[in-house]
Structure 1
Amino acid sequence: MKIQQFEDKYLSHYSYAILSECERKIILIDPSRNPEPYYEYARQEGAAITGVIETHSHADFVSCHLEIHRTTGAAIYVSRLMNAKFEHKTFDDGDLIELGKIKLHALNTPGHSNDSISILLEHDGKQKALFTGDTLFIGDVGRPDLRESQKNAAVLREELAKKMFRSLREKVMILNDNVVVYPAHGAGSLCGKSLSKANSSTIGREKVGNWALRDMTEDEFVKELISNQPFIPAYFPYDVELNMKGADNFGDSVPAVKLSQTQGEGCDRTAWVVDVRAEEIFKEGHLPYSVNIMEGEKFETWLGTIIRPDESFCLAGETAEQLNRMIRRTASIGYEKLIKKAFVITEGPLKNQKLPAIELKDDQEKYTIVDVRNASEVNEKKIFTNSISIPLPELRKRFTEIPVDKPIVVHCAAGYRSAAGSSILAAELQGKAEVYDLGEAISDFK
């Protein structure tokens, strides 16, 4: 038996291949959008992919389960509670998949969502591993509030939190302490609030180090779980629905986005230009209604936060190579079909400026300072006493709250979010006030 872990570092996502060495068969768990790494692993092992298990309908990435089924004939296993729209086999309490000496047991572990399952792996009759999806993370558990688009969301959130309390204690904590825990996410994921950087653990270690497994009442657990959760990107409900019906093939959908030879033509106020270039280059010249979401580790998260899934957008980059990379990354959250046009940008009529730290230090009252960090960051430490706090995910809706009688300075914690935030404000305000990005110079004020 072999267990292979795959990582998408941009979405802090882990997926898995379970190989039966005697039968040369593979079961995948929670695969990402691009199936090629799994095909390559199967080729290297001389094995066939015979099944795909989804621990739930994911909110933060799009899975390739349907594409793998179409390509290989592999069965897709999901909980009956997912209400999946594709051909599948139900996999719930009492259900079993046998693969040589491997037995995979389904455990219904609702809490993150009602359709959440965990998969217990036995080998040679011994409990070996638990694939926990978004139920148990290393150091944390899955948040219960990602179905916010549903009616009675607050009630549902508390109901799910109570289910999580019971799932952990009745299904997870009763397993042997030496069972290895393999989660679907690590540090950086918005599916929890305090995930560890570790990519695996054991039941025993989590009983000691994970806050959610300590001795407490249900009420104490619920209060802690639902408090101070991070924001919910706009694309999360969209991906839940897309995963429930199954996405188009990655290999067809990505090449369908063609690179245009004309810069900006057809991009107008009805479609934002998502400019992925470095902020220094962007500020030297860009198109109207551009938002600077730089190529970086959290591109997907901020793209799916700033651009809603009911919008289209143009994608601008420095080179064709960069654009091709970013189209593939856009597809990982199912946004490639929203791309109206993709093109290389070499110049633009608009410029933005960074504000030297010395100018802000000399006279802070001369400026309106906008803090686009998350509310939890501001509560922990406000950097400028008189700043206006509008988290970046809310900026497009709330920019009218910002007075325009003085120049505006935008800051975050390190410079990535302020590049996006300042570009949004400059586009929305259309010259009503000068907009500056403090950028990395924020470090001078901490």
Structure 2
Amino acid sequence: MTDLDLDPDAELAPETLARHLRAGGQVSVLDVRDRPEFDAWHVDGGGVDARHVPHVQFIAAGARGDATDPLPADLAEPIVAVCGRGEASADTADALREAGVDAVNLAGGMDEWAVVYLAEPLVDADDVTVTQFQRPSSGCLAYLIVAGEGDDREACVIDPLRAFTGRYAAATEEAGATLRYALDTHVHADHVSGIRSLRDATDAAAVVPSGATDRGLAFDPTLLADGETLQIGDVTVEAIHAPGHTSELCCYRLRRERGPDVVFTGDALFLGSVGRPDLEEGDDGARSLAGRAYDTLHERLLPLPDDTLVAPGHFADLADARGDTYAAPLRALWDLDVLSLDRESFVDRVSASLPPRPANYERIVAVNLGQESLTDEEAFEAELGPNNCAVE
């Protein structure tokens, strides 16, 4: 079933698992946490066969002399055992191996899976570099743009996560640049934004779309309106108002003279879908925002040059990568089913094809607006789980 090479004498590093799944590999996962924890969030994806059997069942089976008894008969080997911190799953994997099963423990469990953060070059050119940061546990994507030369080398981060503030600051320093801006494409509902923590850590300006003021913005960021620009070294980032997922959402277009532009679409356009329209105003406002999403796509984004590189804010499945990153030329997205619909059909589909809303989304929105506060630990816990920001 899987080509994942497991070392029975060592634990499997979560980053190794993430890269394996991103490359299209498959894996059998045995999750031994309690059922509510598994149902809320687990290692998932098209390449994952995830099964739940609580640790207590393996303990009881071991006492009876057959540690393999609770193991699903159709779960293919090798098997990766998973729990919250990697302790109960290590015990399970050890018992299974002693019984002759090809099994290994996921080091650190879901706690360590949650902090895997991959960084891959998206653009590596003379005029500018763009690094894509990928969080496999939630599908969140962020970007670091670096441009300029010598002492004038500057950077900005788009859609940073508060949990990884140090990663962006370190990557900027490693690039020999000064972090000028930390930008959000919109008021996020699935993760706690890092624009204010980066402002505090680096003196970068925290930037949000100007429309966020209408949603109750309760802190004092730099506001960016449609058509306004920021200068990063010798390149320009332009705001494109793109309402639909939320009313204030802005995409950011990196304009280049020596290569295709890059458009950071946030939750307006993904590689396989579009953003859900119900997180700001609930079901009552979903159809109105879905209509605005249609207009955004067909009037503002799809008319961009066909070689424009679309860099979205999320991915749905690790295996959706195009190589090592989640981005594609605009022309590669023209055949998406949802983009071929007329306006009425689009509104019907986009306002109805909705997964469960992200966990704690109302509280996360309030935090990102500056209306509430959370400690680092509380913020990390609040955003665990899938982002669920796309239309299915």
Identity %: 26
* Counterpart selection for 2:381 from 305, 326, 330: 330
The one-letter amino acid paired with 2:381 is T
The one-letter amino acid paired with 2:133 is F
For 1:28 and 1:141, the matched residues in 2 are separated by 22
Give the equivalent residue in structure 2 for 1:4. 131
Shift of 1:217: 1.6
- Relative to 1, partners in 2 of residues 1:86 and 1:127: Cα closer, same or farther, differing over 3 Å? farther
For 1:221 and 1:100, the matched residues in 2 are separated by 40
Deviations 1:410-429, CA, capped at 9 Å, x for gaps: xxxxxxxxxxxxxxxxxxxx
For 2:264 and 2:291, the matched residues in 1 are separated by 21
Number of residue pairs matched? 250
For 1:185 and 1:27, the matched residues in 2 are separated by 19
- 1:81 counterpart = 2:211: yes
Shift of 1:9: 1.1
* RMSD, aligned CA: 2.5
* Counterpart selection for 1:36 from 134, 153, 166: 166
Give the equivalent residue in structure 1 for 2:202. 72
Give the equivalent residue in structure 2 for 1:182. 311
- Equivalent residues in 2 for 1:405-444 (5 A)? none
- Relative to 1, partners in 2 of residues 1:246 and 1:100: Cα closer, same or farther, differing over 3 Å? farther
- Relative to 1, partners in 2 of residues 1:229 and 1:249: Cα closer, same or farther, differing over 3 Å? closer
Shift of 1:211: 2.0
Bigger CA radius of gyration: 1
* Counterpart selection for 1:115 from 248, 253, 270: 248
Deviations 1:299-343, CA, capped at 9 Å, x for gaps: xxxxxxxxxxxxxxxxxxxxxxxxxxxx88426569xxxxxxxxx
* Counterpart selection for 1:15 from 120, 142, 146: 142
Shift of 1:246: 7.6
- Relative to 1, partners in 2 of residues 1:107 and 1:19: Cα closer, same or farther, differing over 3 Å? same
2:310 alignment partner, SS class:
strand
For 2:207 and 2:283, the matched residues in 1 are separated by 30
- Relative to 1, partners in 2 of residues 1:248 and 1:236: Cα closer, same or farther, differing over 3 Å? closer
Shift of 1:66: 0.6
The one-letter amino acid paired with 2:204 is A
Higher relative contact order structure (alpha carbons within 8 Å, sequence separation ≥ 6): 2
* Counterpart selection for 2:187 from 39, 45, 57: 57
The one-letter amino acid paired with 2:155 is I
Deviations 1:141-175, CA, capped at 9 Å, x for gaps: 0000113xx4xx33310000000000001110110
Give the equivalent residue in structure 2 for 1:260. none
**TM-score normalised by structure 2 residue count:** 0.59
1:17 alignment partner, SS class:
strand
For 1:101 and 1:247, the matched residues in 2 are separated by 37
- 1:226 counterpart = 2:351: yes
Deviations 1:90-146, CA, capped at 9 Å, x for gaps: 212120111232111100000000011101111227651000000000010000011
- Relative to 1, partners in 2 of residues 1:105 and 1:36: Cα closer, same or farther, differing over 3 Å? same
- Relative to 1, partners in 2 of residues 1:59 and 1:50: Cα closer, same or farther, differing over 3 Å? same
1:158 alignment partner, SS class:
helix
Structure 2 unaligned regions, length at least 5 = 1-127, 386-391
- 1:98 counterpart = 2:231: yes
Structure 1 unaligned regions, length at least 5 = 190-194, 255-326, 335-376, 378-446
**TM-score normalised by structure 1 residue count:** 0.53
For 1:246 and 1:47, the matched residues in 2 are separated by 32
For 1:159 and 1:16, the matched residues in 2 are separated by 30
For 2:383 and 2:357, the matched residues in 1 are separated by 17
For 1:247 and 1:19, the matched residues in 2 are separated by 32
- Relative to 1, partners in 2 of residues 1:224 and 1:154: Cα closer, same or farther, differing over 3 Å? same
Deviations 1:66-90, CA, capped at 9 Å, x for gaps: 1111222111221111123222122
The one-letter amino acid paired with 1:187 is A
